[in-house]
Structure 1
Amino acid sequence: MSHLHTPANGPGGVDRDGYLPPWPVDYPNVLTCDACGVPIERPGQGMLRWLSHAVPTGSPPRRSRLTVVHHASYTPSGRHADCYVPPPADCSWGDEHLAYVCGAEGVCRLLKMVNCDGLPFLEAAVMIHRLLVPGYEQARRYERQAAAEALLDAAPLDGLLRPQDVREMLLHVDRWEEEMEP
C-alpha cells in the first residue's frame, strides 16, 4: 500500500517551507540508490520501493523486490526515468518515503509487510540491516571480497552481515576500492 504524506500528517517529510530534514544525527547510514548508485542525501529525497503483485480477488497481497531509490524529484540527472523503471506485467510499484521507515517505525512497517503482505523475510531482514546497522550500507558492497579473504566468521553471503563483520570490513574498504579502480 502506498501512502501520501503531507507536512501535516507525519514527521520527517517536507515541512511547510519545502525543507527536507537531514538524516537524524544518530542515524547510522546514508543510503545509496539501488537504481543509480548515487547516495541519497536526505531521507525526504529517497523512497523505499517494492513490487505489489497482482493476486486473485480474496487472496492475500504479495510483495517483493524491496529497494531504495531516489524520489522522482531528486534523481541525480533530474530525469525521473533514471531511478524508476516500469514494473513487470501484472505488478505495480508501491513506495514509502525513507523518512517514514527509518528507526523503530520502519522496522515495524517492514515486519508488517512480511506478516500481512507476503514480503519475503530475507528481503525485509536485509533492508532492516541497511536502515539500522552502522556502516552496513558501505560494507555490503564488499561482502564477496570479505568472504574471499576469510574476514567473515560465518561467510553467509545472504546479505545478513553481523555488526562485528561490518566493523571489520570497514577497515578494508579503502583498499578494496583502490583495487577496483581501473
Structure 2
Amino acid sequence: MATPFPITCDVCGELIHQPEHGMLAWFSQLGTLKVHDIRIVHHAIHSPQGQGRCCFHTVERAGFVPGDLHLSGVVGPDGIMDLLEMMNTRHADPERVSELLKRLFVPGYEQARHHISAAIQEGELEPNRAHGYYSSEQIKAVLKFAAANQGQD
C-alpha cells in the first residue's frame, strides 16, 4: 500500500517525512471515551520545534485523557479499521475521520489538498463531485497544476 509521506503535521504545519516520525493523537472524554480533536502530529522526539513542543499531548485538558497511535501502524492494514472504529463506536467527528482517511490512504490527496481551491479558481479542476471527494484523475490534475505553478505564489 502506498503511503502519503511526507504528510503535514496538523499542529505546526511542518512535514512529517516518515511514518515513524508521526502520531495520530486525540483526547478521549473521561466516562464516555468519546474521541475529540483527532490529529496527525509529529512524534515528540521528531518535532521540528524542539523536543515535545509539537506533540498534541503537551496541553492537558480537564476531563480528558490523551490517546495516540504511531502513524507507522495507522498506515498499515489496520489503520482504516482503527479510524472507522473511532468514528462508529467512539463518536469521532465523521468529517474529520473522512479527511484523515483521504489524507492517509488516497494516493496524492495529501499533496493535492492545499491546491484544490486554486485549481478550481483557475479552471483546472471542475468540481463535478461533492466537495472534498475527488477522483484519482482529478487529484492528478491538481498535482500537475500545483507543479506548473510552483514558485508563483
TM-score under structure 1 normalisation?
Answer: 0.72
Give the 5 Å matches for 1:1-182: 26-30=1-5, 31-54=7-30, 57=31, 60-84=32-56, 85-150=58-123, 151-154=125-128, 156-157=130-131, 159-180=132-153
Residue-by-residue CA offset, 1:127-181 (whole Å, 9 max, x unaligned): 1111111111110111211222341333644x4333222111001112444232x
Q: Note the C-alpha offset of 1:61.
A: 2.8
Distance in 2, matches of 1:28 and 1:80, equals: 25
Distance in 2, matches of 1:111 and 1:66, equals: 13
TM-score under structure 2 normalisation?
Answer: 0.83
Kindly provide the amino acid, as one letter, of the partner of residue 27 in structure 1: A
Residue-by-residue CA offset, 1:33-68 (whole Å, 9 max, x unaligned): 1122222122111001123234xx4xx432132211
Q: Note the C-alpha offset of 1:89.
A: 4.4
Alignment partner of 1:82: what SS? coil
**Percent of aligned pairs with the same residue?**
31
Distance in 1, matches of 2:10 and 2:17, equals: 14
Look up the match of 1:15: none
- Residues 36, 83 of structure 1: 8 Å contact kept: no
Distance in 2, matches of 1:82 and 1:129, equals: 23
Q: Which runs of 5+ in 1 are unaligned?
A: 1-25
The structure richer in strand per residue is: 2
Q: Which runs of 5+ in 2 are unaligned?
A: none
Change (3 A) 1:178 1:155: farther
- Residues 3, 75 of structure 2: 8 Å contact kept: no
Q: Compare CA radii of gyration and give the structure with the larger one.
A: 1
Distance in 2, matches of 1:166 and 1:46, equals: 24
Aligned residues: 150
